[in-house]
Structures are given as C-alpha cells and as structure tokens.
Amino acid sequence: MQIYLPIAEMSVNLFFLVGIGGAVGFLSGLFGVGGGFLLTPLLIFSGVPVPVAVASVTGQVVAASTSGALAHYRRGAVDLHLAMYLVLSGVLGAFGGVAVFALLRDAGQLDLVISLGFLILLGSVGTLMLVESSRAILKQRKGIVVRERLPNQHNWIHGLPMRVRFKKSRLYISVLPVLVIGLFIGFVGSLLGIGGGFIMVPALVYLLRVPGNVVIGTSLAQVVAMMAATTVLHAVQSQSVDILLAFCLMVGGTAGAQFGASAGKYLRGEQLRGLLALLVLAVAIRFGLSLVITPSDLFSMAVVGGMR
C-alpha cells in the first residue's frame, strides 16, 4: 500500500515505513537508545531526501523516548535539575547545528559531513563500548567480581569553577562540563538527526559520574526535550519535517520499542552493551566504506530554492 508523503513529495510503501520504524524501535527498546542513528541512514538509503530524513527522524526520536522517559520519571529516576542544564545548552547547540545544516546543504557538502560525522562518532563510541563490554564479559567469566565505580569518585573535571549541587544524582560538580556535553550533543544531534543517547549515557557515566539509577532516565528526558526543540527548529528553518513520514515511523517505533524492552530482560547489561557496540560499529563501517569506495555514480543533483 503506497502512501504519498506531502513534504518529501514521493510515495513510499506504508508497510515498509512502519516496518523499519518497528525494527529500529525494537532495537531502541532493547538497548535503551533513541534509534535515530539507525533510522536516518536507513531512510537516506531508501531514497528519502537527506534534509527530510534528518528532520523527520527528530520527531520520531521524541516519540520513541517519551514512553521510556515517563516510565523512568514515575520511578523517580530522572534528575530534572541536571536534565534542565543539559537541555538549555542542548537547545543552544541545536540552533548552531540547524544553521550549519542549512549552510552545508547549500554548499553541497551535507552528505560528506554526515558520513564523516557518523563514521567518527559511531566508530569511536562503538569501539569504546566494545572494548569495555568485552572486558566486563571476560572478567565475569574468570569469576572476578566487577567493582562498580563509586559515584562520589571525583576527577579533575568536577573541580572546575561554578559548582552546582545536583541532589538526585548526589553530585556537587561544576556546571561547565555539563553545559559542554549538552552543547555538543545538541549540535551533533540536530546535524545528524540523532538523539545522542548513545553519547549522552557514556558521557554522564564516565565524565560526570552520575549514578547508574538516574543515568538512563535523565538521558531520556534530555533527549525528549532537546529533540522536541530541534523538530520545531527544523520545521521553522528548513521546513523539511514530514509529519506523515514521522507519524508512520512513530507508530512502528513505539510498538517495536515495547517488544524490544521485554526482550532486553533476557540479556545481561554487558551483553547488551556488546551487541549495541557491534551494531554501532556496523553502521560506522557502512558510512566509512561509502567515503572510500568508488561511488556507482560520480554525479548527483539537488534542487536549490523553491519551485517557481
């Protein structure tokens, strides 16, 4: 069954859209990530114009993260104070990201920067996660009890000026690293059409030492708020948010996420992280190859400005 997307101005199979939304939603529920880093490339590879894909996926990420964020909030696992700082700086970063997005699109370098961005970001995060999770799995096999990092273990980042107390996270740290993390994720997220959960969680855990029970909830709350702002920014600036496309992905995504979350209970944390690392690396390699392998078509075209 074909459905016409009014902003992308093309017709796509409805089941295909709901299907990839569901498949990515399953993975995002399984690993507790937004899934934007999988959906945006999938849409681009299936012919949706790059600006429409990036802008519409931001809307889908909002939906995918909402139910998780609400569930964590009810359990009291969201540090709203910390999330507020992350969101404020994140929205600032998103302004920058959306502006750079428009500049790059006009200069014809958007595809290159998106490919490079995914390669560097996913490649480094994926490698780190793979190393960390395989170490944890090996240690457990040998019977060594893994000592959890203590939340009040400080490093030099915490000692920077402008300290603020985050009660729920039991932290008394400088806001500067918090703002830098928010700014960076806002910028990268709006540029690449990803929520940035897979960067946010390691950053909160390893850099800020946020305790494990509030990490996921805070990250999800931040993703919802920041991606909501980014969606509005994209809608205003590039007018490339396709609400029908986003809705089809949302329906598939929210349903898939529930099944993914139940499936996730059968796997241990480090196994999940290892699988996610492999997935992230696979996407990074795909983008890396597209930069190096001779493209099948050396020429491409784009429309500038609107219809006359």
Partner 1 sequence: MKRLVLLLLFVAGLLAPAQAARLISQVSNDSVEITSSFDGERMNFFGTIVPDVGSAEAITGPFQVVVVVLGPTQNRIARQMTNNFGIWSNTGQLEFKNFPSYFHVLSSGRLSEITDITTLTTNYILPESHTLVVNTDDWWRSAVYGQQLVRLMTEQGLFGVQENGVNFLSDTFYSARLTLPSNAPPGPYIALTYVFKHGAIIARRSEGFAVRKIGFERFLALSSTQQPLLYGLVCVLLALVTGWFGGVLFKR
Q: Which residues form the interface with partner 1 (CB under 8 A)?
A: 1-4, 6-7, 9-11, 59-60, 62-68, 70-71, 108-109, 111-112, 224, 228, 231-236, 239, 241, 243-244, 246-247, 250-251, 254-255, 257-258, 261, 291-295, 297-308
Query: Smallest distance from the beta carbon of 204 to partner 1, in angstroms?
Result: 22
Query: Smallest distance from the beta carbon of 188 to partner 1, in angstroms?
Result: 20
CA distances (Å), 140 to each of 128, 137, 146, 230, in order? 18, 5, 7, 41
Nearer to partner 1, 98 or 171 (CB): 98
Query: Of 2, 15, 17, 13, which is closest to residue 246 (Cα–Cα)?
Result: 17
Query: Smallest distance from the beta carbon of 243 to partner 1, in angstroms?
Result: 5
Nearer to partner 1, 40 or 133 (CB): 40
CA distances (Å), 10 to each of 2, 7, 43, 100, 202, in order? 10, 8, 13, 26, 38
Query: Smallest distance from the beta carbon of 254 to partner 1, in angstroms?
Result: 3
Query: Smallest distance from the beta carbon of 130 to partner 1, in angstroms?
Result: 25
CA distances (Å), 276 to each of 4, 106, 126, in order? 33, 34, 8
For residues 167 and 81, the answer to whether their CB atoms sit within 8 Å is: yes
Nearer to partner 1, 71 or 137 (CB): 71
What gap in Å lies between CA 110 and CA 93, rounded to an integer?
18
Nearer to partner 1, 73 or 175 (CB): 73
Query: Of 132, 79, 169, 149, which is closest to residue 280 (Cα–Cα)?
Result: 132
Nearer to partner 1, 207 or 243 (CB): 243
Tokens matching residue 241: 């948010």
For residues 215 and 189, the answer to whether their CB atoms sit within 8 Å is: no
Nearer to partner 1, 213 or 237 (CB): 237
For residues 117 and 193, the answer to whether their CB atoms sit within 8 Å is: no
Longest CA–CA separation in the chain, Å? 70
Query: Smallest distance from the beta carbon of 147 to partner 1, in angstroms?
Result: 32
Query: Smallest distance from the beta carbon of 244 to partner 1, in angstroms?
Result: 7
Count CB neighbours of 159 within 10 A.
10
Nearer to partner 1, 150 or 293 (CB): 293
